Structure 1
Amino acid sequence: MRSVALLDGGLGQEIYRRARELSSPLWSVAVMLEQPEVVTSVHEDFIRAGARTLSLNTYAATPTRLREQGMLDRLEAIHQQAFNVLEKAIKAAGVDVDIAGCLGPLVGSYKVQPDRSFEDLKAEYDTLVRLQSRADVFLIETMTNTLEAKAACAAAQASGKPYGVAFRLEDDGKLKSGESLSEAIAAVAAYTPTAVMLNCCDPELVTDAMPELVGLHPCVGGYANAFKSVEAMARGGSVDVLEARPDVSPGSYTEEVRHWLADGASVVGGCCEITPAHIRHLADTLADEYSFVRFSQLAGLD
């Protein structure tokens, strides 16, 4: 039976949905500061659903974004809180899982390449890696350009821990920067990521691109979103304006994931609007065909 790393789902969006009365540019981080029990409950639900690698709720907690909100002085406290709420959930569930440090875009999701140098970007990612040094693995997510991806990879590689890097594709199958998937993989190859993935794009896009991705890196995967469109947010809107696709049910999402696995994916999970119910259905439906493991276990399966 082939081993597959099973990630959690759309952590931030699930947290935000459960605390809908709160609206903030910091998204689920703001919920964690005011209602930490909500974040713990979401983590626990994903663990009980079958996820074996759980991301810290720090996607929006970059120095750049906190500085914009006048909260840079709370950077370390926010990261400590992210560990506290996740560790509480792990203890409650009593399941052995990986804690994944989260390295997302430094400015915001769905943007083009920042007007910054590699050294400047890497220094900020170095800070995030240091703050999340207790993590078992790192996940670099929603990369839209190779400059930011390389900076994040350099910081994650220096940690000495397993890590994956995930790119987001636009409808044309390219990154927001205009770079192709093959160019993106080639750009990070020297940093030897454990896995290269696609995330936060339509499930159908991941399905279409997976055969090519499998041929470009030894260990690959995908975790898609279920948004109708992210264009409003890409233009500067908040997560409040985003809508979920009603057709991406737990059953239909599992069928897309089945295609990825058949093509050779070794890492699956979900991104925004993929709920614990989706992950549970996926884990239960495919349990007879695949052994779901922690991301850190992939390094020893070659």
Structure 2
Amino acid sequence: MQRGVCLLLDLREKLDGRLLVGDGAMGTLLAARGVGYGHPYDRANLTHPQVVRAVHEEYVRAGARVIETNTFSANATKLALKNLGDRTREINVEGARLARSAVEGALPAGEDAIVLGAVGPLGRPLAPIGPIRPEEARAVFLEQAEALLEGGADAILLETFVDLAELKIAYDAVASLGVPVIAHKTFVEDGETLAEGLPGKVARDISSWGAEGLLLPGSNCTVGPQRMLGIAEAMASEVGPVAAYPNPGLPQLVNGVVRYNQDVGHFAEYGLKLAQAGARIVGGCCGTTPSHVRALAEALRDFEPETRSARRVSVSSPELETERAAVEPRTGFARKIKEGFAVAVEVDLPRGHDVSGVVEAAKALKERGVHAIDISDGARARLRMHPVAVARIVQEQAGIEVVAHMSCRDRNIIGLQADLLSAAALGVKNILAVTGDPAQIGDYPEATSVFDTDAVGLVHVLSKMNRGEDLAGNPIGEPPGFLIGASFNPTAEDLDAEVDKLRRKVGAGAHAFWTQPVFELGALERALEKIQDMDVTLLLGLMPLRSGRQAEFLHHEVPGINIPESVRKKLAELSAEDAPKYGVEVAQNLLAKAKPLVGGAYLMPPASMPHLAGDVVEAVA
């Protein structure tokens, strides 16, 4: 038997005029047959090899001629979370051997079948949203693919990729191996977005990546047969043959176990429609069983695909290859930063929901020449009102723009984007992206810290929205024109690391940087020397000190803050009445000297003394 004969020469040409039935889900069957829910299903290649092989054999006997290895989550990144990272190669080699052995043992004489080495996404976001750099991702994908081919896979299947950029990285990693690749984008978008032509654009983009005949686009998972039909039609109309692996429908949770629709007739009916639409490999994804595949194979038994000229795509679709240019920030405060010297003051929020004091402080500060009010987002993990809600109130009632801080601690990537869309709708367009303090140091130390991403990733999200799209590329309407702020600490203990992070924030799209409190000009000058190769606008952080006790606490107990000994000593000698005046004087003197070096000032007065910020502002009046 020739292994994978229909794929090894030319994917599209050999599939044009021929239809192949794929297999179905693996994890749900393994769970039901003794592996156990929550067990790392890929590990079953080592712990339950006979069970894995038996499932493969069932699919072959049901009519499947394209068999996927049980390795969807068997990359080193995911396996490391299960303390299996050092067994990556072994799990993948055995996964491919089991699938190959099952095919050779169950396939009728005279027929051939294909073993696809299944490779899924890394399970963690790529930089700048997450911690994994593209070069690291490529190495992980290549390691897995090499092991799958060593174990006997005919081709590589890249499946269930939501992020097209990650799919491209995975393809680039395995393309050098010289074997056919099937690349599946899973579509989580709603029907309205899909109707705008996204599947066709994706198909064109995928088809443009690889050598002719060695790359087939397709889709799997997330959607049921009906929605998959529209996706397959759109993709096939652009590039010719495609692959389609829908779920049988939407899942439901029954007694703690995920269940799917078992109406195999409906699945088979739409399998035929998928073939008529141009899918040349049709199988099933999550929730499908050998019964689904048997009904599918029966429905497709007499189907004869039309031979059509395979379409070749030589260039990437401009819609996906070229990112739309981000619009410039559209706020008055952004203009002030660009054209003059901008002054922002952070006003602390009280506990509870009465922010009338914040509004009054904002009014008074506006009269003294302040251009914007900063509202933090649960700084030090304290329970406070949502900064966007406060920003809306202050802007309406005090008539001054607000910079709303946005922390990554309390929201996953969905919640962060939802809050940013809300901010845009409410007219809160100045956003300072911060990673956030861990919940353990705050009011509720037992609370969960989310940290789906960090400040760099949040800057990237804001920049995407300024291009008129969310993180997944879905349109959000008119670009909001956010002013994207980020933080920078000129007095960081590891200044090189801090500068590297600033560089990544600039690359992600930050417009300006709010610094941590600075108390001596030399620290600022040393930091500026480090970043002189970048076009960076800084708002110098200034904290008018109110007492020697406060200065000692900040210097000794707060990381990243350094207060000269002379200042701390002088404050300790002064009375409670005179100390705040000296604190203002120190900040004024520093601001006067630093003004030519920075684009603005960011003042952080004591919570009970916002008026001190107004006193400092007199130095730039």
What does residue 284 of structure 1 align with?
A: 298
CA deviation map 1:225-250 (0-9, x unaligned): 135348x9xxxxxxx9552333x522
Q: Is the 8 A contact 1:174 1:181 kept in 2?
A: no
Give the 3-state SS of the residue equivalent to 1:159 in structure 2: coil
1:107-151: CA deviation from partner (whole Å, max 9, x where unpaired):
179xxx755333222221111111112311111100101111101
1:183, distance to aligned residue in structure 2 (A) = 4.2
Q: What corresponds to 1:236 in structure 2?
A: none
Deviation at 1:196, TM superposition (A): 1.1
Q: What amino acid sits opposite 2:219 in the alignment?
A: L
C-alpha contact (below 8 Å) 1:227/1:242 kept by paired residues: no
Q: Whole-Å Cα distance in 2 between the matches of residues 30 and 98 of structure 1?
A: 22
What corresponds to 2:566 in structure 1? Answer: none
Say if 1:53 and 1:97, in contact at 8 Å, map to a contact too. yes
Counterpart of 2:70 (choices 32, 57, 72) is 57
Runs of at least 4 residues off by over 3 Å: 113-117
Aligned mates of 1:60, 1:241 — CA distance in 2: 22
Distance in 2 of aligned mates of 1:37 and 1:270 = 22
Relative distance call for 1:108 and 1:259 in structure 2 (3 A) is: farther
CA drift of 1:44 comes to 0.2
User: Which residue matches 1:256?
Assistant: 270
What RMSD, in angstroms, separates the aligned Cα atoms of the two structures?
2.9
Larger-Rg structure = 2
What code does the residue aligned with 1:259 have? K
Are the structure 2 counterparts of residues 180 and 60 from structure 1 closer, same or farther at C-alpha, using a change threshold of 3 Å? same
- Asked if 1 retains the 8 angstrom alpha-carbon contact of 2:25 and 2:287, the reply is yes
Is the Cα contact below 8 Å between 2:89 and 2:144 reproduced in 1? no
Q: SS of the residue aligned with 1:3?
A: coil
Question: Where does the alignment leave 5 or more consecutive residues of structure 1 unmatched?
Answer: 233-239, 292-299
Give yes or no for the alignment of 1:132 onto 2:154.
no
Question: Which whole-Å deviations, capped at 9, do the CAs of 1:157-205 have from their partners, x for residues lacking one?
Answer: 2221111111111251499xxx933443344233235321110022221
CA contact (8 A) 1:169 1:205 kept: no
Structure-2 residue corresponding to 1:180: 198
Indicate how the Cα distance of structure 1 residues 108 and 250 shifts in structure 2: closer, same or farther if over 3 A, else same: farther
Q: Which runs of 5+ in 2 are unaligned?
A: 1-15, 313-621
Q: CA 1:127–1:37 in structure 2 vs 1: closer, same or farther (change >3 Å)? A: same
How many corresponding residue pairs? 277
Which secondary structure does the structure 2 equivalent of 1:221 belong to?
A: strand
Distance in structure 1 (CA, Å) of the matches to 2:171 and 2:162? 14
1:105, distance to aligned residue in structure 2 (A): 1.0
The aligned counterpart of 1:211 is: 233
Letter in 2 for 1:148: E
Q: Please give the alpha-carbon distance, in whole angstroms, between the structure 1 residues aligned to 2:130 and 2:183.
A: 18
Separation in 1 of the partners of 2:227 and 2:124? 21
In 1, distance between residues paired with 2:299 and 2:236? 23
Instruction: Tell me whether 118-127 or 39-48 shows the greater mean CA deviation.
Output: 118-127
- Which among 117, 139, 145 is matched to residue 163 of structure 2? 145
Length-normalised TM-score, structure 1: 0.82
Relative contact order higher in (CA < 8 Å, ≥ 6 apart): 1
d(CA) in 1 for partners of 2:104 and 2:153? 16
